[in-house]
Amino acid sequence: MNNKNNYNYLLSDLTKLKGVGSKTASLLKRKKINTIFDLLWKLPKSYTDRSISSNIKDLKIGDVQTVNIVPYKYNFPRIRNLPNRVLCKDETGTLECVFFNSYEGYVRKILPLGKSVTISGKIGFFRNKYQITNPNYVSENSSLIKTKHNQYSLTEGITEKVYNNIIKQIIKDLPKFDEWHNKNILKNFNYISWYKSINELHKPDNIGKYDKDFYQRLAFDEIFSSYLVHSEIRKKIKKIKKKGKSFNINNQSKFISELEFDLTKDQLRSLDTINKDLISNQKMFRLLQGDVGSGKTIVALIAALNVVHSGFQVAVMAPTEILARQHFLLAKKLFKTSIKIDLLSSKSEYKDRKRILKNLGNNKINIIFGTHSIFQKKVEFKKLGLIIIDEQHKFGVNQRKKLSDKGGPNCDVLLMSATPIPRTLTMTIYGDMDLSIIKEKPKFRKEVKTYTKLESKIDDIIKFVKKEIKNGNQVFWVCPLIDESKKIDHSSAIIKFKFLEKIFPKKVALLHGKTDPIEKDLILNNFLNKKFDILVSTTIIEVGIDFPNANVIIIENANKFGLSQLHQLRGRVGRGNKESSCILMFKSSLTENAKKRLSILKKSNDGFEISEEDMKLRGYGDILGFKQSGLKIFKLADPVLNENLFRLAENEIKRIEKNNEDIGKFKTLMKLYDQADIINDIV
């Protein structure tokens, strides 16, 4: 086969492989292995050395060993379900091969009497005889067995032998692509090719050798391809010509002067950058990233006000109805009657929904608030000029691109995220967007004081809670996870709810992952309206909602959470102007790592600093404490171990953009590594 530059082979369905039928393909797809290319990144975890053969007399019971034998007698019982047996020998002794669920014809074929055969498997001993039950490998050609066989984390239903054969087949047919990197990049990896790197990656002797050139080169390809795609999306969006918004900046100044608080320098700087995007003739595609409580929403709403004054409509989308309603009520309070705003949700009655849709179509609504439902096909705008989306992490690069396209050429896009990301990951996750960061907290926000407390001191915590409730304050009580796997322990929340209800009758509510969505909204609204004082919850209260009267959060088993997640949870309090507290409960037996995490959190309220430390302590896969659908999970690259590669990729992208280089030579790289729909628009 002429496989030069043939990336289509690697992007083919798994059934293109010999020995992979629909059943095996289905088993692999359950593990998100959808193409031949995906299989390349399921790396061996260890290997079994079958290269050395032993004499029968020297076999070790319980070990996997290779032995050369000659079959001399079959025992095929006529009673069903009994195993087939084959007596074998060498010059030192006898061994019995036992086969369960194997046909007589198959056994005769692989172990012909009188022929020399090499077999490999786990050695057993039964009735004074060595045994191998269902040998892993059997062949008259010993060279096929006498080698090192990789061991993989196997998908249930697929044997090690089948998996190894599939990988060997892919490596054998691997295309030899033209090199896509220049010499300045390749010299960092001693000029090793992609083809050779893949071959080295799957050699048993290279397992775990992450510092070698082959591994570093492949990790760089992964990072660089992501940066390339984002760069091209950015360029593509910048090419879209739009009608620039036109508004009087004096109206903005007047509005800001009438606020009950002063905006921070970061807020004003971000607002100025957003305004420049709005008035330009290039489409805005910007992320407004800020720590919890940094005041992103007010910046976004002022930008919305400017867009309305320029004659366009604005859509504000939030991940939940309660958050959408919260933004709506804040806008209502700030804009009073000068701006026509409305809220569209699944709870909107039919007549209200009909009225809202009609008014949107007639430009009688300036700003509409809602969840993703405001972008359904039936919802049509007369003159949509800005889309604002809260909690950006709900959206991946594909969704962001589609969203940008949906509003039309004159519609700018502003996304907000309260999840600080380490610098290494910024371009990886947000590289398709321009970025504004708000680090500074408003002066009226008081720092949340963080304490650690042993679980055995629960009585002291109860006394503290009683005092806070007496002073008219509310409390979040967050219950722990089962373990590091992120499975929520529903029972722990229920047990704690029952415990607290006895102490605080009719003052406690319960919320967890199994709570019905409608009931969840009701509970949160009741808490917001002070109908009870304590909300016992799992981590689902983590994102976004303002409860100005809640000034205490108690987090049980705090050592089970990542730093960033603890910081996000802590951000649920301190939203008002009261002194707030976060109490981290833990058991006495803390690991050194857990002690470090709690110490960092007590010392810092800076989410960006905390996220950097979190990544160093916990590792990339768990950096945010919860899975983000927008986060690209790398197969090889690690932002801590490969920080130099991320910097190298960033500098190379900047060089390519500066020189306006043709990226056609990277087509294969992007096709292979990204595999997103957007790629078809780019190359």
* Res 618: pLDDT: 60
- Nearest Cα neighbor of 121 from 109, 110, 105 is 110
| Domain with residues 449-604, CATH architecture | 3-Layer(aba) Sandwich (3.40)
* Biggest alpha carbon–alpha carbon distance for the chain: 100
Is the confidence at residue 482, as pLDDT, over 70? Answer: no
State the Cα–Cα distance between residues 304 and 335, nearest whole angstrom: 11
Token pair listed for 478: 């967050």
Is the confidence at residue 548, as pLDDT, over 80? Answer: no
State the Cα–Cα distance between residues 206 and 18, nearest whole angstrom: 26
Is the confidence at residue 2, as pLDDT, over 60? Answer: no
pLDDT-based confidence at residue 195 (cuts at 50, 70, 90): very high
Question: CATH for 249-438?
Answer: 3.40.50.300
Is the confidence at residue 192, as pLDDT, over 90? Answer: yes
Is the confidence at residue 96, as pLDDT, over 90? Answer: yes
Give the pLDDT mean for 336-352.
83
* Res 648: pLDDT: 95
* Res 160: pLDDT: 77
Is the confidence at residue 87, as pLDDT, over 90? Answer: yes
Give the pLDDT mean for 295-307.
93
* Res 55: pLDDT: 93
| Contacts of 665 by beta carbon, 8 Å cutoff, 6+ apart | 178, 180
Q: Show the DSSP H helices in 507-642 as ranges.
A: 517-528, 563-570, 592-603, 607-618
State the Cα–Cα distance between residues 180 and 666, nearest whole angstrom: 6
Q: What superfamily in CATH does domain 51-146 come from?
A: Nucleic acid-binding proteins (2.40.50.140)
Q: What does the mean pLDDT of the chain come to?
A: 83
How does pLDDT run across 4-45, given as a tens digit for each residue? 557 888 888 888 888 888 888 888 888 888 888 888 888 877
pLDDT-based confidence at residue 633 (cuts at 50, 70, 90): low
* Res 463: pLDDT: 93
Helix (H, G, I), strand (E, B) or coil at 453: strand
In this prediction, what percent of the chain has a pLDDT beyond 90?
A: 29
* CA distances to 343, 373, 526, 544 from 346, in Å: 10, 8, 19, 20
> Are the CB atoms for 430 and 226 separated by under 8 Å?
no
Is the confidence at residue 500, as pLDDT, over 50? Answer: yes
DSSP 559: G
Is the confidence at residue 312, as pLDDT, over 60? Answer: yes
How does pLDDT run across 225-264, given as a tens digit for each residue? 988 888 888 888 888 888 889 999 998 999 999 888 889 9
Q: Show the DSSP H helices in 16-155 as ranges.
A: 22-29, 36-39, 104-110
Two domains, one topology: 51-146 and 249-438:
no
SS (H, E, C) 483-506: CCCCCECHHHHHHHHHHHHHHCCC
Is the confidence at residue 108, as pLDDT, over 60? Answer: yes
Give the pLDDT mean for 523-534.
86
Amino acid type, 626: F
Q: Angle at the Cα of 601 (from 599 to 603), degrees rounded to 5?
A: 70
* Res 488: pLDDT: 46
pLDDT-based confidence at residue 90 (cuts at 50, 70, 90): very high
> Are the CB atoms for 473 and 549 separated by under 8 Å?
yes
Token pair listed for 639: 């932002």
Q: Domain spans of the chain?
A: 1-45+163-176, 51-146, 177-239+642-683, 249-438, 449-604
Token pair listed for 305: 């006000």
pLDDT-based confidence at residue 622 (cuts at 50, 70, 90): very low
Give the pLDDT mean for 536-556.
76
**Per-residue b/e over 671-683, b at no fewer than 16 CB within 10 Å?**
bbbbebebbeebb
State the Cα–Cα distance between residues 647 and 660, nearest whole angstrom: 20
Q: Most confidently modeled of 168-177, 600-609, 624-633?
A: 168-177
Q: Most confidently modeled of 37-51, 87-101, 353-367, 621-635?
A: 87-101
172 burial type by CB count under 10 A (0-12 exposed, 13-18 middle, 19+ buried): exposed
* Res 631: pLDDT: 46
| Contacts of 226 by beta carbon, 8 Å cutoff, 6+ apart | 428, 431, 632, 673, 674
* Res 404: pLDDT: 64
CB count in 10 Å sphere of residue 384: 22
pLDDT-based confidence at residue 445 (cuts at 50, 70, 90): confident
* Res 112: pLDDT: 94
| Contacts of 67 by beta carbon, 8 Å cutoff, 6+ apart | 53, 54, 55, 56, 59, 90, 95, 118, 119, 120
pTM: 0.70
